[in-house]
Amino acid sequence: MIRPALTEIGIFLIPFAVYALFLVATRSGLFVQSSWPIYTIARLALVALVLVIASLIGLAHFTGAPPDSTYVPAHIENGRLVPGVEK
């Protein structure tokens, strides 16, 4: 459960990292407060939210079992544990 959460946090931070790299490349002063106006931070946060929403939609659409599949739970056969599968 922690891996998907960290993935989404990483996706959220991508626009801020790109902007920070832009500031470093243009030598505008990464830690100068005037390089991070509230309007720019708001736009970066909006882009980050759009990226997170798009990634969640993509995750829901392209992962998981097919809609018509049936889950067969884990069970014991001949003394061995057979993991659950979707058929």
- The position carrying tokens 């309007």 is 39
Average pLDDT of span 31-50: 95
The string of DSSP codes covering 32-54 is -GGGS-HHHHHHHHHHHHHHHHH
Distance CA 66, CA 6 (A): 26
pLDDT tens digits, one per residue of 2-39: 988 899 999 999 999 999 999 999 998 888 998 999 99
Average pLDDT of span 62-67: 83
Average pLDDT of span 52-57: 95
Q: Where on the phi/psi map is residue 78: left (φ > 0), alpha (ψ -120 to 50), or beta?
A: left
CA 25 vs. chain centroid, Å, equals: 26
**What's the token pair of residue 46?**
């909006």
pLDDT-derived band at 79 (thresholds 50, 70, 90) equals very high
Average pLDDT of span 30-56: 95
Q: What integer pLDDT is reported at residue 78 of this predicted model?
A: 93
